[in-house]
Structure 1
Amino acid sequence: MSAGTQSETLEFQAEVQQLLSLMIHSVYSNREVFLRELISNASDAIDKLRFEALQQEALYEGDPELKIRVDFDSEARTITVADNGIGMSRDDVIENLGTIAHSGTRRFLEQLTGDQHKDAQLIGQFGVGFYSAFVVADRVEVYTRKAGAPAGEGVRWVSDGQGSYTVDTIERSERGTAVVLHLPEAQQEFCDGMRLRQIIRKYSDHISVPIEMPVPSTASDDDSGEGAEEPGREIVNRASALWMRPKSEVSDEDYRELYKHVAHDFDDPLTWIHNHVEGRQSYVSLLYIPKRPPFDLYEQKPAHGVKLYVRRVFITEDTEHLLPRYLRFVRGVIDSDDLPLNISREMLQHNPMISSLRSASVKRILDRLERMAKNEPEDYAAFWQAFGRVFKEGVAEDPGNRERIARLLRFSSTHEEKETPDVSLDDYVARMKEGQEKIYYVTAESFNAARNSPHLEIFRRHGIEVLLLPDPVDEWLVAHLHEYDGKQLASVAKGELDLEALGEEGDKEAREEKEQACQELCQRLQASLGERVSEVRVSHRLTESPTCLVVGEYDFGMGMQRLLQAAGHQLPTGKPALEINPDHSVIERLGAESGQRFEDWALTLYEQSLLAEGGQLEDPAAYVRRVNNLLAG
Structure 2
Amino acid sequence: MSTEKQTHGFQAEVSRLLNLMIHSLYSNREIFLRELVSNASDACDKLRFKALDDASLAESAGEPAITLSVDKDAGTLSVSDNGIGMDEAEVIENLGTIARSGTEKFLASLSGDQKKDSQLIGQFGVGFYSAFIVADRVTVESRKAGEGVDTGVRWESDGQGEFTVERIERTEPGTSVILHLRDDAKAFLDPFKLRQVVNQYSDHVAFPIRLVTPANGDEEASEETLNSATALWQRPKGEISDDEYQSFYKHISHDFQDAQTWSHNKVEGKLEYTSLLYIPARAPFDLYHRDASRGLKLYVQRVFIMDDAEQFMPQYLRFIKGVVDAPNLPLNVSRELLQDYGPVRKIRAALTKRVLQMLKKLGNDEEQYPAFWAQFGQVLKEGIGEDPDNRDAIAALLRFASSSQEEGLTSLDTYLERKPPEQDKIYYLLADTASAARQSPHLEVFRKKGIEVLLLSDPVDEWMISYLDSYKDVKLVNAARGELDLDEQNDVDQDNPLVARLKASLAEDVETVRATQRLVDSPSCLVLAEDQLGPQMRRMLEAAGQSVPENKPVLEVNLDHDLLRALDSVEEGDKFNDLAALLLDQAMLAEGQLPKNPAATARRMHQMLVTAVNS
TM-score band, normalised by shorter chain? over 0.9
Of the candidates 40, 43, 46, which is equivalent to residue 44 of structure 2? 46
Question: How far is 1:265 from its partner?
Answer: 0.6
Contact 1:247–1:274 at 8 Å: present in 2 too? Answer: yes
* DSSP-derived class of the 1:138 partner: strand
CA distance in 2, matches of 1:125, 1:211: 24
Structure-2 residue corresponding to 1:570: 547
Question: How far is 1:450 from its partner?
Answer: 1.0
Question: How far is 1:22 from its partner?
Answer: 1.8
Percent identity among equivalent residues? Answer: 52
CA distance in 1, matches of 2:91, 2:394: 44
Return closer, same or farther for 1:215/1:158 CA change in 2, 3 Å cut-off. closer
Letter of the structure 1 residue corresponding to residue 516 of structure 2: S
Of the candidates 467, 490, 515, which is equivalent to residue 480 of structure 1? 467
Return closer, same or farther for 1:317/1:381 CA change in 2, 3 Å cut-off. same
CA distance in 2, matches of 1:616, 1:52: 58
1:465 equivalent in alignment to 2:452:
yes
Unaligned regions of 5+ residues in structure 2, if any? none
Contact 2:434–2:455 at 8 Å: present in 1 too? Answer: yes
Structure-2 residue corresponding to 1:533: 510
CA distance in 2, matches of 1:160, 1:414: 59
Of the candidates 90, 95, 105, which is equivalent to residue 107 of structure 1? 105
Structure-2 residue corresponding to 1:438: 425
1:478-522 CA distance string (max 9 Å, x none): 11111011110010110011122xxx49xx55x32xx333x3x33
CA distance in 2, matches of 1:220, 1:212: 22
Structure-2 residue corresponding to 1:213: 211
Letter of the structure 2 residue corresponding to residue 205 of structure 1: D
Return closer, same or farther for 1:492/1:169 CA change in 2, 3 Å cut-off. same
CA distance in 1, matches of 2:500, 2:26: 69
* DSSP-derived class of the 1:318 partner: strand
Question: How far is 1:475 from its partner?
Answer: 1.2
Return closer, same or farther for 1:69/1:33 CA change in 2, 3 Å cut-off. same
Structure-1 residue corresponding to 2:368: 379
Of the candidates 391, 402, 408, which is equivalent to residue 391 of structure 2? 402
Question: How far is 1:117 from its partner?
Answer: 5.0
CA distance in 2, matches of 1:322, 1:531: 52
Structure-2 residue corresponding to 1:356: 346
CA distance in 1, matches of 2:113, 2:27: 15
Question: After alignment, is 19-28 or 195-204 more displaced?
Answer: 19-28
Structure-1 residue corresponding to 2:295: 305
Question: After alignment, is 49-58 or 404-413 more displaced?
Answer: 49-58
Letter of the structure 2 residue corresponding to residue 3 of structure 1: S
CA distance in 2, matches of 1:372, 1:245: 25
TM-score w.r.t. length of structure 1: 0.91
Return closer, same or farther for 1:481/1:305 CA change in 2, 3 Å cut-off. same
CA distance in 1, matches of 2:500, 2:536: 28
Letter of the structure 2 residue corresponding to residue 65 of structure 1: E
CA distance in 2, matches of 1:43, 1:262: 10
Question: How far is 1:115 from its partner?
Answer: 4.3
Structural mapping, 1:41-440, within 5 Å: 41-60=39-58, 62-116=60-114, 118-123=116-121, 128-214=126-212, 232-374=222-364, 376-418=365-407, 420=408, 422-440=409-427
CA distance in 2, matches of 1:173, 1:618: 73
CA distance in 1, matches of 2:96, 2:150: 22
Contact 1:140–1:159 at 8 Å: present in 2 too? Answer: yes
Letter of the structure 2 residue corresponding to residue 94 of structure 1: I
1:15-45 CA distance string (max 9 Å, x none): 2222222211224422111101000001011
Contact 1:269–1:291 at 8 Å: present in 2 too? Answer: yes
Return closer, same or farther for 1:433/1:171 CA change in 2, 3 Å cut-off. same
Contact 1:127–1:265 at 8 Å: present in 2 too? Answer: no
CA distance in 2, matches of 1:406, 1:340: 36
Structural mapping, 1:612-627, within 5 Å: 612-627=590-605
Contact 2:71–2:214 at 8 Å: present in 1 too? Answer: no
Contact 1:143–1:177 at 8 Å: present in 2 too? Answer: yes
* DSSP-derived class of the 2:278 partner: strand
1:135-156 CA distance string (max 9 Å, x none): 1111111111222233333222
Contact 2:136–2:182 at 8 Å: present in 1 too? Answer: yes
Of the candidates 10, 13, 19, which is equivalent to residue 21 of structure 1? 19
1:25-74 CA distance string (max 9 Å, x none): 22442211110100000101111111112112233362332111111112
Contact 1:144–1:154 at 8 Å: present in 2 too? Answer: yes
CA distance in 1, matches of 2:57, 2:378: 44
Return closer, same or farther for 1:213/1:608 CA change in 2, 3 Å cut-off. same
Aligned length in residues? 610
CA distance in 2, matches of 1:617, 1:114: 43
CA distance in 2, matches of 1:325, 1:191: 45
* DSSP-derived class of the 2:406 partner: coil
Contact 1:319–1:328 at 8 Å: present in 2 too? Answer: no
Return closer, same or farther for 1:524/1:149 CA change in 2, 3 Å cut-off. farther
CA distance in 1, matches of 2:416, 2:170: 70
Return closer, same or farther for 1:599/1:13 CA change in 2, 3 Å cut-off. farther
CA distance in 2, matches of 1:608, 1:18: 50
1:512-562 CA distance string (max 9 Å, x none): 2xx333x3x333333333332111111221112222111112333232122
Return closer, same or farther for 1:3/1:623 CA change in 2, 3 Å cut-off. farther
Structure-2 residue corresponding to 1:228: none
Contact 1:28–1:121 at 8 Å: present in 2 too? Answer: no
Structure-2 residue corresponding to 1:516: 495
Return closer, same or farther for 1:158/1:50 CA change in 2, 3 Å cut-off. same
Return closer, same or farther for 1:40/1:122 CA change in 2, 3 Å cut-off. closer
